[in-house]
Amino acid sequence: MKKFLSLLISMTFSLVLLAQMPQLPEILQEKMDEEHLDLTVNYDETEQVKTEEEYYAFISRTLGTDTLLGYHWSEDAQDWALRARIIKNYNDDELVTEKYFQFLNDDGDWQDGLLFNYSYTSFGSLSELLIQHWNNDSSLWVNYFKKINTYNDAENLAEIETQWWSHWHQDWVPHQMKVFTWTGGLLTADTVKYLPFNSDAWLSHHYSSFDYNDLGMKTSKTVYRWKWWSGEWKNERNYLYSYDDSGDNIITVISQYWAGDAGWKDAHRYNYTYTDFDEVSNYLAEYWNEWGSEWKADINIAYTYNDEELLSNYVWQQMPWWGDQWVNVQQASYTYDVDGNMTETIIQKWHHWTEEWVNWRKWEMILDYNQVMGIADNTGNGIEAIFENPYRPGQAISFKGLRQDNYQLQLFDLSGRLIESTTINGNAAGSFGNVGGNTLYFMTLSGSKGLVYSTKILINN
């Protein structure tokens, strides 16, 4: 009965904790989902594709500020529409220290959304991740989530603790903990714990043990769940690993579940194929069909690389349970500059009715954003632009406070690329015509003495 009450109290605590968590706007929650952050300390194996942002962060090491511009595909305008941006700041060790996620509000202005702060140890490993969200009512950053990593003397990860911010208590509430055990430099066990309501004693939840061969390669992982009613660890999952001839690359992972007296039963199999430069070229996920006593295909992801061995494309397909033909799901393409920095990512979804790829998301990566643009938001010299914002192509744009001169009225996209240019004289009006809609641009006005005015302009066809 005591164990049941303890379990009931812990479940109540989880519900109370969830109730204290703020409900983020949809675009922010979508961003949190894309982050693949370990908000709940996984105890299971996670097989997933790197997001475009994770890959970008991996291959881009330019100091200073990087900006990622995020677009979504507008069906109405049949064009990309600017939606969000991510601004990253780095320290002298080329590690990300801050990451701002902002989105365009209904007025076409940038709205603060999420702020990620990263702290590191003296040896360059992440020691703390703090996530805050912007509160419009108070115009302040509000705490949301924290992850704290601690390390042993050998600089191996020893413990992870996650915490949520409680608006009721105005304090951090511990959520989960993962403790790692190392033997001779190898991870031999980890334990996932949680903190019950109104208690300062962590309780174990899951326990994993790892086995290795003589070469130090992981051969198995067994996951146990703590059973409250019996007071003992029970088998739950088992993972078996096999490697290629080099011993460097995992080629198969078999996931099994515990079936009681029947022992371990196969559940899933993950297969990896590699290029000659040791990058994954194909990922195939299968599940065990008990009735047919055979492995059935589930997910297939094919990766291609450019001549510089950088990821250029992946295609994700799924096998429907009723058929034997792969069905397209999603694909992404990546573009790089001459230094190998990713400059553009386009993600497309498969449209089953039209049987074609349709645009979905796009990221443009700009290194040192302010230097690329080289212009201020406005010059503050008393010149005033008169135009409708959002602006419709063809509408007049006039200015107050201009002296008599010949001026170049120019339109740039947010990557700094010139889109359109026109000449106006003195107080004459100008306009832009051949421009895509529902997108934010920079408008500049330059005379014989250089730039005199600049501002953002939202164009909406």
Q: What is the pLDDT of residues 212-242, one digit of tens each?
A: 998 899 999 999 999 988 889 999 999 999 9
In terms of C-beta density within 10 A (0-12 exposed, 13-18 middle, 19 or more buried), how is residue 343 classed? Answer: middle
Query: Which pLDDT value is given to residue 15?
Result: 39
**What average pLDDT does the segment 318-325 reach?**
90
Say if residue 351's pLDDT is above 80. Answer: yes
Q: How many CB atoms lie within 10 A of CB 207?
A: 20
Decide which of 90 and 317 is more confident: 317
Token digits of residue 158: 């020893």
Q: Which of 98-107, 343-352, 390-399: highest mean pLDDT? A: 343-352
Report d(CA 192, CA 41) in Å as an integer: 7
In terms of C-beta density within 10 A (0-12 exposed, 13-18 middle, 19 or more buried), how is residue 36 classed? Answer: middle
- 3-class SS at 53? helix
| pLDDT band, residue 1 (cuts 50/70/90) | very low
Decide: 439 and 82 in contact? Cβ < 8 Å: yes
Concatenating the DSSP letter of every residue in 81-118 gives: EEEEEEEEEE-TTS-EEEEEEEEE-TTS-EEEEEEEEE
Say if residue 371's pLDDT is above 70. Answer: no
**What average pLDDT does the segment 315-341 reach?**
90
Dihedral sign (CA 143, 32, 23, 169):
negative
Say if residue 250's pLDDT is above 70. Answer: yes
Decide which of 19 and 112 is more confident: 112
Say if residue 179's pLDDT is above 90. Answer: yes
To which residue do tokens 């920079």 refer? 442
Query: Which pLDDT value is given to residue 367?
Result: 62
Report d(CA 90, CA 61) in Å as an integer: 9
Say if residue 178's pLDDT is above 90. Answer: yes
**What average pLDDT does the segment 149-157 reach?**
94
Please measure the distance between the N-terminal and C-terminal CA atoms of the chain and give it in whole angstroms.
67
Query: Which pLDDT value is given to residue 8?
Result: 34
Q: How far is CA 130 from CA 2, 141, 180, 193, 194, in A?
A: 36, 11, 22, 21, 20
The CATH number assigned to the domain with range 374-459 reads 2.60.40.380
Decide: 252 and 267 in contact? Cβ < 8 Å: no
Query: Which pLDDT value is given to residue 53?
Result: 42
Dihedral sign (CA 37, 57, 150, 236):
positive
**What average pLDDT does the segment 384-411 reach?**
85
Percent of the chain with pLDDT over 70: 81
| pLDDT band, residue 433 (cuts 50/70/90) | confident
| pLDDT band, residue 163 (cuts 50/70/90) | very high
Q: What are the domain boundaries of the chain?
A: 2-369, 374-459
To which residue do tokens 């796009």 refer? 362
Q: How many CB atoms lie within 10 A of CB 28?
A: 20
Say if residue 422's pLDDT is above 50. Answer: yes
- 3-class SS at 125? coil
| pLDDT band, residue 388 (cuts 50/70/90) | confident
Please state whether 368 falls in left (phi above 0), alpha (psi between -120 and 50) or beta.
Answer: left
| pLDDT band, residue 153 (cuts 50/70/90) | very high
pLDDT tens digits for range 88-133: 888 888 788 998 888 888 887 778 899 999 999 999 999 999 999 9
Please state whether 374 falls in left (phi above 0), alpha (psi between -120 and 50) or beta.
Answer: left
Say if strands 384-386 and 398-400 run parallel, antiparallel, or are unpaired. antiparallel
Lowest mean pLDDT among 139-148, 341-350, 374-383, 387-396: 374-383
Q: What is the mean pLDDT of the chain?
A: 81
pLDDT tens digits for range 41-84: 444 444 333 344 443 343 333 334 577 888 889 888 888 888 88
Say if residue 154's pLDDT is above 50. Answer: yes
Query: Which pLDDT value is given to residue 441?
Result: 80
The angle at the Cα of 187, spanning 181 to 190, to the nearest 5 degrees, equals 50
pTM of the shown model: 0.72
Decide: 435 and 410 in contact? Cβ < 8 Å: no
Task: Give the CA-trace dihedral at 344, 349, 354, 355, to 10 degrees.
Answer: 100
| pLDDT band, residue 277 (cuts 50/70/90) | very high
Lowest mean pLDDT among 174-188, 344-358, 418-432: 418-432
Query: Which pLDDT value is given to residue 3?
Result: 38
Report d(CA 219, CA 212) in Å as an integer: 5
In terms of C-beta density within 10 A (0-12 exposed, 13-18 middle, 19 or more buried), how is residue 76 classed? Answer: exposed
